[in-house]
Copies of this chain bind each other. A is one copy, B any other.
Amino acid sequence: MLKNINLQKISVIGMGLLGASVTMACRRAFPKVFTVGYSHRASTRKKSRQLNVAHQIAQTLEEAVHNADIVILATPILTFETYFKSIAPFLKSGAIVTDVGSTKHLVHQWANKNLPRTVFYVGSHPIAGSEKRGVEYARDDLLTSARCILTHTARTNAHALKILRHFWSELGCNVVTLAPKKHDQIFALISHLPHVLAAALINGSDFEDMKFAGKGFIDTSRIASGPADVWMDIVLTNHHNITLGIDQLVRQLGRMKKAIAAQDAAKVKDLLETARAKREKLIAYKLKKRELL
């Protein structure tokens, strides 16, 4: 449980799949804490009220963040700078501000530039989601067993970091910390690149051919069904690392092509077996960490 803080109100800005799942998980993990959700869309506010995902769905940003102990941005990344500016005047002194964005380096810069010195920013990236979107797909167990990365710099308040570590742990996450630059490098390769790759695979495929697709193709391309606007923001806020990742992948495909074109059986088998063994080692690690359920 949270220690040394009298947590009374948690506000989540953005009632999409992830934002609403956070409010729902908060209600379950912190039954005495007042949870508030906000969406700029009247239709989403209405749906969120109907689905009862938070104690209150605020009409305005001011109402949403007023007196909140923790404010969590769960909107598309490219809206974060504007939201930091908009909520800045209404944040109480000592409030902790975080977000659930998939890139972190730029977000730290925006927070640093736009939030008052009286509040504490820490980056959060819960590795949870789905190719589905919208409050109607929210679940109070979406974060269960998910890894959550907290990002911090030399400026980050240690007490705020500690509180958020407790917060996400109570919501069921395995919390680890990283510097925002390192975070963005890693996620370019293991999250953003696979998305770009899945989209490239689909874009390069003929629809009539795709009708023959089996489970392999369906799984390999699954993340290409994710919301384009959300992923556009991720890609644009991590463009340098992702282009490096594309270059690296193209080099790997070149190695494959060379071995296949030469019909070099030993080399082809070696490349496939190396991948197989490495992935099996990854699955074993993930099962041990209980991150695959």
Contact = CB atoms under 8 A, between A and B. Distances in A.
B214 A189 contact: no
Given A187-B212, A196-B260, A197-B201, 7 more contacts: A190-B213, A199-B275, A204-B248, A207-B278, A218-B282, A243-B260, A249-B253
Given A194-B216, A197-B220, A243-B261, A204 B249 contact: yes
Contact of A217 (B190, B211, B275): B190
B246 A256 contact: yes
- Category for how many chain A residues contact B: 35 or more
Q: Main secondary structure on chain A at its contact with chain B?
A: helix
A203 to B, nearest CB: 5
A225 B283 contact: yes
B203 A252 contact: yes
Instruction: Across the A-B interface, give the 10 residue pairs with the lowest CB-CB distance, nearest first.
Output: A199-B275, A228-B273, A200-B252, A228-B272, A127-B214, A202-B275, A204-B252, A194-B220, A216-B223, A232-B269
A235 B268 contact: yes
A197 to B, nearest CB: 7
Interface string A208-237: 011111111111111111111101100110
Nearest to A227: B276
A222 B220 contact: yes
A15 interface: no
A251 interface: yes
A186 interface: yes
